Amino acid sequence: MFALVDCNNFYVSCERAFNPALEGRPVIVLSNNDGCAVARSNEAKALGIGMGAPLFQIRDIVKRHDVAVLSSNYALYGDMSARVMSILSEAAPAAEVYSIDEAFLDLRGMDRARREAFGQELRARVRRWTGIPVSIGVAPTKTLAKMANHYAKKTPALEGVLDLEDLRWRERALHKFPVGEVWGVGRRLNKRLEAMGIRTAAQLRDAHPKMIRQNFNVTLERTVRELGGQSVIALEEAAAARQSIAVTRTFGEKVTEYAAVSEAVATFAARAAEKLRRQNLLAGAVLAFIQTNRHTPQDAQYARSITVTLPEARDDSYTVLTAAREGLDAIWRDGFRYQKAGVMLLGLVGARQFQRSLFASPPVAGSAQLMGVIDHLNQRMGRGAVRFGAEGVAAQSGQWRMRQERRSPAYTTRWSELPCVAA
DNA sequence: TCTGGGGTCCTAGGACCC
DNA sequence: TCTGGGGTCCTAGGACCC
């Protein structure tokens, strides 16, 4: 049996944990650049604010109902996530941290009665220790546990926990569950399935796996089997090796100048290299891309990416930054209003298991030590305390930097922003 | 008219997830 | 005027190998 533990409205719950005045009010948290609503409290959902709704389209609702609007605060959410996950990992013999706000637990060998108590107890513990409310779905496959979790979250009478071992209950749940809500069925598949007359999870389960594989793909075939109670997606305790690292941003304002885009790309490259070193990896290639605003087709459009292969896998900022700028120069075109740029690192290998090249010149002497010092300083004194000249000076070139107008304090990760409690 | 079998690697595009 | 960011997997087609 698997349990899926999912934090309710996670980003909003993190904000509420430190600002109780947000309790009972409609609250939304915005994406980077204060663009879209990416987390909504139940009150905000009830007002009809959709997932991913652009802020400028919901201004009226926000004003009329006094919705609390917050910029995203990833330092806070990341730290709160780590706290929740450590509690969950200790609670079960095996756990898979599936996303920032979800984990699968292995409940093998636990009988029905014990699972019941376990679920309620775990929920209470996470709430008490972190302030975060969670819902728990239990079932013999991950896909069914996901479905159970949906019901646990939306049906108050269940008190946050639903166990679908019982076949009659599972059958009822499957019949009511829209196929588009099934884990692994997105917008496109939903449309194609509905066109075939498959509208519920039960109908998808009853489809022939072979037919599904022929008309769709293996992944959906696995989903069919999982809905039928056959567990084919295993719990993955150890995180798989990372394949890529990306740093991409939408600009605060549209940008037309090469100098500004170049600064942005350099900043993303340096940040990506920092992530690379933190994960003890080396990159074999650097991809850079730029694009105009796809939402305004009446404007001239341009989008290109380029991959620059390094002679030898590296992790120093200088190499990554140089490659990214070389790439940018190759794809740059004057005369467009650019909206977004990014840098991705590909061909990642572990720092101790990479293939040395016969022909690449060796890294600059002292480079590793230099990067160590830069990372250390930036960690202690704040991101960007030490940076490359190519990244520009924030005060002088705000144009491309993202907007974040209502960010809450880094309550748990910065001494100066620690909340004070007066008795 | 007839034209093998078994592979790998790379890239682009499509689909999904949170 | 204002529309996020960071990932994964699968498939098809092209190019190549023996």
Q: How far does the CA of A312 sit from the C1' of C17, in Å? A: 25
- Distance, in Å, from the CA atom of A135 to the CA atom of A114, rounded to the nearest integer, reads 17
Q: How far does the CA of A63 sit from the C1' of B7, in Å? A: 63
First vs last C-alpha separation in chain A? 45
**A158: Cβ under 7 Å from strand B?**
no
Residue A312: per-residue pLDDT: 87
**A252: Cβ under 7 Å from strand C?**
no
Closest protein CA to C1' of nucleotide C6, residue: A246
Check: CB of residue A229 under 8 Å from CB of residue A144: yes
Q: How far does the CA of A144 sit from the C1' of C9, in Å? A: 21
Closest C1' nucleotide to A184's CA: B16
How many angstroms separate the Cα of A170 from the Cα of each of A134, A149, A175, A309? 21, 12, 9, 51
**A228: Cβ under 7 Å from strand B?**
no
- Distance, in Å, from the CA atom of A13 to the CA atom of A29, rounded to the nearest integer, reads 10
**A217: Cβ under 7 Å from strand C?**
yes
Structure tokens, A51:
């997932």
Query: pLDDT per residue over A331-362, tens digit each?
Result: 888 989 999 999 999 988 888 777 777 777 88
Tell me whether the CATH fold assigned to A166-240 matches the one assigned to A245-392. Answer: no
Q: How far does the CA of A13 sit from the C1' of B15, in Å? A: 30
Closest C1' nucleotide to A186's CA: B16
How many angstroms separate the Cα of A1 from the Cα of each of A4, A19, A86, A92, A158? 10, 37, 21, 12, 19
* CATH number corresponding to A166-240: 1.10.150.20
**A263: Cβ under 7 Å from strand B?**
no
Superfamily of domain A245-392: DNA polymerase, Y-family, little finger domain (3.30.1490.100)
Q: Give, for A10, the enclosing helix (H) or strand (E).
A: helix A10-18
Is the domain covering A1-159+407-422 a CATH 3.40.50.300 domain? no
* Residues in chain A where the model's pLDDT stays below 50: none
- Distance, in Å, from the CA atom of A60 to the CA atom of A306, rounded to the nearest integer, reads 41
**A98: Cβ under 7 Å from strand B?**
yes
Q: How far does the CA of A369 sit from the C1' of B16, in Å? A: 41
- Distance, in Å, from the CA atom of A161 to the CA atom of A56, rounded to the nearest integer, reads 37
Residue A55: per-residue pLDDT: 94
Q: How far does the CA of A354 sit from the C1' of B8, in Å? A: 21
* Threshold 0.85, pTM exceeds: yes
Q: Which nucleotides of C are covered by protein (CB under 7 A)?
A: 1-11
How many angstroms separate the Cα of A42 from the Cα of each of A5, A10, A12? 18, 11, 10
Please state the domain extents for chain A.
Answer: 1-159+407-422, 166-240, 245-392
Residue A51: per-residue pLDDT: 93
Write out the DSSP string of A99-164.
ETTEEEEE-TT--HHHHHHHHHHHHHHHHHHHS--EEEEEESSHHHHHHHHHHHHH-GGGTTEEE-
Structure tokens, A48:
């009809």
Q: What is the DSSP letter of A388?
A: -
Q: How far does the CA of A211 sit from the C1' of B3, in Å? A: 33
Closest C1' nucleotide to A6's CA: B18
3-state SS class at A405:
coil
**A404: Cβ under 7 Å from strand C?**
no
